Structure 1
């Protein structure tokens, strides 16, 4: 029986089955070229109305790293301090400013969003979270490991790295080649019949 998935098994393993959240990294650097290639891949992923609220700050300098580590939960400080690269991922509440002025299938959509800040914030957070998932897959596709974290002071990180305001920090992601003892034990996954119901 042929594989019902269209990508080859090696790619399936790299992106999903063998992919893990890394907690230690080697000192091999992550280049700007790698990060540009990752973004140029994941920017095509679908979102509602093709919105792109995700904003990424790559934390490279020692000074910026210290500022970030100060806002991380205790268990995340050391790995964030030593990862080759750290990305702060946030949703821009003014994402609608980058939308086309006219949507052929939704006339007036940009203007509608302009006048609805609460709806826009929800849309930014939802689609930004979708883009975070794509970003992690893109890091894996580049042969790197991602260490996404939610253990941090989101308000503090936002003030440090998005001082103009209007951004909701969604995740902090350590990026690099996995180091020694990089993986925590993996929890079991639910099976298809535990999750999927057909009606």
Structure 2
């Protein structure tokens, strides 16, 4: 059975997409990032909660602060990337539910308990991280998502008010020559899927 997406789109988004580890110095514009966001904002989250918050790291000072929070293997490539996005989950996402989920005017009351709210925000924010990466690919750019960072330090540097917490750091740009590691194998259908 064929998929609805044509082969070129399947390849762009999935089969040929890999984590980029090196980029050209071609800038990534605010317009490109806005187009990415304007696409991926429509992807589903529970109660249309939309907890993802994005911090674009453009200034040398902010980049230096970010690089100081990263694992050693992520520092040089992030310092050289044309743009880096810090993707975080808002802890107060429920405050916007009156706007994003208007047919349930008391939806935010479901999240009075902080621990459950943060857990819900991080889960749905993680979904949005995946959508964001696909959006970067759909824009013809490469994404280099990373989890190698000191979360406590990064949160202190960029989310000191405690209203959000980091989920991922993503380098964005046009891939340079030799930007990719070799493709690693994937699990087969029968190794992953069971029917009950």
* TM-score, scaled relative to structure 2: 0.96
1:134 aligns with: 131
CA–CA separation in structure 2 for the residues paired with 1:14 and 1:177:
14
Instruction: Measure how far apart 1:109 and its partner are.
Output: 2.5
- 2:6 pairs with 1:5: no
5+ residue gaps, structure 1, are none
- 2:45 pairs with 1:47: yes
1:65 aligns with: 63
1:121-177: CA deviation from partner (whole Å, max 9, x where unpaired) = 110110000000000000000000000000001111111112211211000000001
Spell out structure 1 runs of 4+ moving beyond 4 A: none
Out of 152-161 and 89-98, give the one that drifted further. Answer: 152-161
Instruction: Measure how far apart 1:103 and its partner are.
Output: 5.2
CA–CA separation in structure 1 for the residues paired with 2:189 and 2:26:
38
- 2:159 pairs with 1:162: yes
Instruction: Measure how far apart 1:81 and its partner are.
Output: 0.1
* TM-score, scaled relative to structure 1: 0.94
1:74 aligns with: 72
Instruction: Measure how far apart 1:107 and its partner are.
Output: 6.2
1:38 aligns with: 36
CA–CA separation in structure 2 for the residues paired with 1:195 and 1:144:
30
Out of 11-20 and 92-101, give the one that drifted further. Answer: 92-101
Q: CA RMSD in A?
A: 1.3
